[in-house]
Amino acid sequence: MPPRIRSLTLPGWRDPERVFLALGAAAERVAWLDAGPDATEGRSILAIGAGDDRTVTANRDDAPDDVYASLREPLADGAVDAREHRDAPSPVGWIGWFAYEFGARTLGLPAAPTTTPEAAFLFAERVVVFDHALGRVRLEWLEGADAAGERAAGDATPGETWARETAEAIAHLPATAPGTHDAVLEDELPPEASVPPAVRWRHDAAEYERMIADCREAIARGDAYQLCLTNRVDVDVEVDPVQAYRRLRRSSPTHHGAFLRLAGVALLSASPEQFLEVGTDGTVSTRPMKGTRPRSADPERDEALRAELLASEKERAENLMIVDLMRNDLARVAEVGGVAVPSLLAVEEYPHVHQLVSTVTARLRHPLTALDAVRAAFPAGSMTGAPKESAMRILHALEGGPRGVYSGAFGRIGVDGSADLAMVIRTIVVAPGAVSIGTGGGITTLSHPAEEVEETRLKARALLAVLGGRADGL
């Protein structure tokens, strides 16, 4: 008998941040997939690792085939959906990340050695789900085939015990109205550091411009059409990951925020870009994001920047090339003729930037799964360039070090066949003795070096501000 997904809806609404601080902030392994402080749609998900929970952690010596096999094992038999409400896929399953170098090694390409895990996942059998649209908090958990026997004997199953204890803990927290932030939390944030930390860019402006010139030469030779060149920023700062993420979600709210602490590393993300979403019916969508302009506090100037982005020949060409690449990637796992582009070159607004976004959809070919879709499309074309493998070889030679978790993907892969993964961009990575940020942009023949350098500053600026630093060191 397959395991069962069960659920319990709790009375009233609780702020996800308040629940995270009370139940998960001190945990060694915790995952909070965050729809944002004032979200009125979507879901936030909180999973806290227990001592016996399954994990998968991969490093350079681990074969990608073995890692995928480990992730497939608890998903293989599926699960019976016994939840009270089935209005959305269940988040019960794996939550974690794939690093960029894991994707390179999966493709048999050269990859720089990393100091952080190339993959890290927690098998979340018990999760707290915040449905922002419905204003509902729900507990979901996985019960094994032996749970019926425990109930027949008059004992609560482990999942039921967890649900009762978690419900009691949440009931003691102050209630708030859905769609409003718990204002008391603002007073609890400690003051920012008074002395700005040292900020070190892997490549300074002159060197980055030389790398851009090398990219344009490679494109002129026909070795690539577009290259997503990246830079790394190391920040010399002692940081509390929890408090840093709380600042980040206020300054850069987004629908794919996350706080993940796994394998000794914390990922603090304000990512606006979805990598892959897979429904329980096998539908797949990806939303490549290529093309950026800053926001302005002046409405007229802001609208002019938006129009400039939409009209930019360079930005439109960059986005279209990645759309074509993602269509090809998904076609490897899709039903014949099932790949479509329902939205092309739409502008989305975020607190600090305008972004040019397209949507590509498909339907998985039977009997392929969400993991097959991930393997076919990772690393995402928006972070490599096109053609993918040639671009990645060129970038490996140019960038002079690992990207690590940055430009990988994070999110969940569910036991019900669903998945929702975002790009690791606009993200702070806190590892033992190291705090880093990745930033970059797509290079084409139309790229202007000074503008590309400024784009990397723009993308890093809000993240550095959270850490007390500035983006002018490049």
Helix (H, G, I), strand (E, B) or coil at 253: coil
Mean pLDDT (the chain) is 92
Q: Collect contacts of 309-313 with beta carbons under 8 A, ≥24 apart.
A: 309/347, 309/354, 309/356, 310/345, 310/347, 310/356, 313/446
178 or 123: which leads in pLDDT: 123
State how far the Cα of 393 lies from the Cα of 175, in Å rounded to an integer: 52
259 or 355: which leads in pLDDT: 259
Helix (H, G, I), strand (E, B) or coil at 451: helix
Query: What tens digit of pLDDT does each residue of 378-401 get?
Result: 999 999 999 999 999 999 999 999
Phi and psi angles of residue 218, each rounded to the nearest 5 degrees, phi first = -65, -40
Query: What tens digit of pLDDT does each residue of 41-67 get?
Result: 999 999 999 888 899 999 999 999 999
State how far the Cα of 413 lies from the Cα of 119, in Å rounded to an integer: 13
Query: What tens digit of pLDDT does each residue of 152-209 get?
Result: 556 889 999 999 999 999 999 999 888 777 666 765 666 666 678 999 999 999 999 9
pLDDT for 150 beyond 70: no
Helix (H, G, I), strand (E, B) or coil at 6: strand
Phi and psi angles of residue 430, each rounded to the nearest 5 degrees, phi first = -110, 110
Mean pLDDT value across residues 336-344: 93
**Bridge-based pairing state of the strands 419-423 and 119-124:** unpaired
State how far the Cα of 91 lies from the Cα of 421, in Å rounded to an integer: 12
Check residue 76 and give its pLDDT.
84
**Bridge-based pairing state of the strands 4-10 and 80-81:** parallel
> And the tokens for 474?
């490049």
pLDDT for 250 beyond 80: yes
153 or 326: which leads in pLDDT: 326
State how far the Cα of 74 lies from the Cα of 93, in Å rounded to an integer: 8
Helix (H, G, I), strand (E, B) or coil at 108: coil
Check residue 183 and give its pLDDT.
63
Identify the helix (H) or strand (E) that includes residue 88: none
Check residue 124 and give its pLDDT.
97
Amino acid at 261: R
Among candidate residues 445, 414, 432, 32, the one with its CA nearest the CA of residue 227: 445
Check residue 116 and give its pLDDT.
96
Q: Say how many C-beta atoms besides its own lie within 10 A of residue 400's C-beta.
A: 13
Amino acid at 319: N
